[in-house]
Amino acid sequence: MTTDGPPARRLMRWRNAVWLAAAVLFLLNFVQRGIDLFSIILTAIVVALGFAVEHVETQTRRPFKNYLRVALASFALGLVLVAMPLLMGAGIWIGLILWAGLSGAALFWCTYYERTEPR
């Protein structure tokens, strides 16, 4: 069995590939639809979220790491379930209920997990 190097180097290659794919997708979106304020703001939010996830995964330790993961996931869910319908002019009650329920369940699970798992 051959490997391409230590796990950290392989993980860095995957990260670089994901960032490159995201950049290509954003460029294709800008070429197809043009550049407007909404696209720029959405791109900035997604890039900031990506950097935040990378920072949490590489620079933090348990138990704080798991709580930050839940916070980032809750933020991403809030964008999809609350902010997008609000921007489209749709009703947000179902999305708000789903967001609150999923975020609360994730926080409950994280709290339970951190109390029961050894460090």
Q: What is the pLDDT of residues 22-71, one digit of tens each?
A: 788 888 877 888 887 877 887 788 888 888 888 888 888 888 888 898 99
With respect to residue 87, please indicate whether it lies within any of the assigned structural domains.
yes
With respect to residue 70, please indicate whether it lies within any of the assigned structural domains.
yes
Q: What residues make up the domain containing 107?
A: 61-116
- For the chain, how many structural domains are there in total? 1
With respect to residue 3, please indicate whether it lies within any of the assigned structural domains.
no
Q: Going by C-beta distance under 8 Å and a sequence separation of 6 or more, which residues neighbour residue 103? A: 70, 73, 74, 77, 78
With respect to residue 12, please indicate whether it lies within any of the assigned structural domains.
no
Q: With contact defined as beta carbons under 8 Å apart, do 23 and 15 qualify?
A: no
Q: With contact defined as beta carbons under 8 Å apart, do 43 and 24 qualify?
A: no
Q: What is the pLDDT of residues 94-104, one digit of tens each?
A: 888 889 999 99
Q: No. of H helices and E strands in the chain? A: 5, 0
